Copies of this chain bind each other. A is one copy, B any other.
Amino acid sequence: MSVLARPYHTVENRLLAALPGEDYERLLPHLEPLSFSLGEVIYESGGHLDYVYFPTISIISLLYIMENGASAEMGMAGKEGVVGIALFMGGDTMPNRAVVQSAGGALRMKAKVLQDEFARGGQLQRLLLRYTQALITQISQTAVCNRLHSLEQQLCRWLLLSHDRLKGDELVMTQELIADMLGVRREGVTVSAGQLQDMGAISYVRGRIRILDRGKLEATVCECYRVVKDEFDRLLG
């Protein structure tokens, strides 16, 4: 079976698209398409997972929620990755929440099927581990960026990472939600987004962000974006 003959939605996930035909054929019957709506919680902190999810055009945000309700994003997963790494890493659960940041499709696979396939030690294992390493870099860079860079730079990083995982140029997301992701005040996002809008990088209308000029975002962002992007390309490109 050639790549072109694969169902379109399957190929849209880059991990699945990178599987050799033989592995792909074995797994195809176990892949079930589904659709996520904005804000949907895929798993809770410490919550058990029955499936792993391979996003196709959706974006999933990994958030940590503090005891006092404050939150901050540690990373995100889109068509380049998978949600539910605890299932093959062996820990079964993670102490964070996974929330749909951008509505859209995904494919799910039963935990048991994934674990069995992982245990074979083939290409899927290799891909999942490399993806996990890239995710570690993304989380690390979030830590560094949180420490050392301005809100405006972090917003640029977040917008660029999201844009890379989006189909078009429009992101449906209020400033309030972005503030929750970045772990900052909503007003702070208003100010920084206003600056990006003034320079013509984005337009922002009531929960709809449109990326107008990536170049301007890339000129404003800190090095953290590039580090993460390069590492994903290196490991999975």
Contacts and interface: CB of A to CB of B under 8 A. Distances in A.
Interface stretch (A4-12, A20-28, A86-94, A196-204): A86-94
B234 A72 contact: no
A112 to B, nearest CB: 17
A143 interface: yes
B132 A89 contact: yes
Contacts of A212: none
Interface stretch (A47-55, A144-152, A186-194): A144-152
Interface stretch (A29-37, A62-70, A169-177): A62-70
A64 B144 contact: yes
A3 interface: no
Contacts of A234: 91
A74 interface: yes
Given A89-B133, A136-B136, A72 B148 contact: yes
A183 interface: yes
A148 B183 contact: yes
Given A89-B130, A91-B134, A234-B91, A67 B141 contact: no
A141 to B, nearest CB: 7
Oligomeric state, in copies: 2
A18 interface: no
A220 interface: no
Contact of A64 (B74, B90, B141): B141
Given A95-B227, A119-B121, A139-B140, A183 B147 contact: yes
Contacts of A230: 95
A117 interface: no
Given A89-B129, A90-B130, A95-B137, 15 more contacts: A62-B140, A64-B140, A67-B223, A72-B147, A85-B136, A89-B133, A90-B129, A91-B235, A95-B140, A96-B140, A119-B121, A139-B140, A142-B143, A143-B143, A144-B183
Interface of A: 62, 64, 66-67, 70, 72, 74-75, 85-86, 88-91, 94-96, 119, 121, 126, 129-130, 132-137, 139-144, 146-148, 182-184, 223, 227, 230-231, 234-235
7 contacts: A62-B140, A66-B144, A67-B223, A74-B143, A89-B136, A132-B132, A143-B143
